[in-house]
């Protein structure tokens, strides 16, 4: 299985078709059972697809190499079709409300000196 994340706005059906075609063109991928593509999720920064395929394993077969070769094929074919692989995206939103006004007073400006009257216990 190979996972692929493409940029939002990509044509999902075209992505699925490219993934399937890449698997079918790769000699180590079996035609039966046929490869299948699943549109897995709407990810945080990508549309997530998984390409499922079968291959015959032998002592000379390197499954990691098969997955790597498929990824190279997929990247090339997506790029040629104008479909971008996903990159993490962060939207930053700014609060446009005015900030709270904060003023600092000098150490000798206590509330008593700033014109406030002192309240004595029992006088209120």
Domains identified in the chain, total number: 1
Q: Which residues of 32-43 are buried (b: 16+ CB within 10 A; e: fewer)?
A: eeebebeeeeee
Q: Is the residue at 104 inside a domain?
A: no
pTM score: 0.70
Q: Is the residue at 27 inside a domain?
A: yes
Neighbours of 122 (CB within 10 A): 5
Residue with tokens 């074919």: 77
| pLDDT of amino acid 50 | 98
Write out pLDDT tens, residues 94-115: 777 877 777 777 766 655 555 5
Domain CATH number, residue 26: 3.30.70.100
Write out pLDDT tens, residues 28-76: 999 999 999 999 999 999 999 999 999 999 999 999 999 999 999 999 9
∠ CA 29-31-33, rounded to 5°: 100
Q: Is the residue at 114 inside a domain?
A: no
């Amino acid at each position: 299985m190979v996972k692929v994340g493409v940029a939002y706005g990509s044509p999902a059906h075209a992505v699925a078709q490219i993934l399937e075609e890449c698997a079918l063109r790769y000699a180590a991928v079996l035609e039966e059972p046929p490869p299948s593509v699943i549109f897995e999720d709407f990810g945080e920064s990508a549309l997530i697809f998984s390409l499922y395929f079968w291959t015959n394993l032998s002592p000379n077969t390197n499954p990691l190499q098969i997955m790597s070769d498929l990824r190279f094929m997929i990247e090339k074919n997506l790029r040629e079709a104008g479909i971008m692989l996903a990159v993490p995206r962060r939207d930053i939103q700014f609060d446009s409300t005015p900030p709270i006004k904060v003023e600092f007073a000098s150490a000798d400006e206590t509330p008593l000196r700033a014109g406030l009257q002192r309240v004595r216990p029992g006088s209120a």
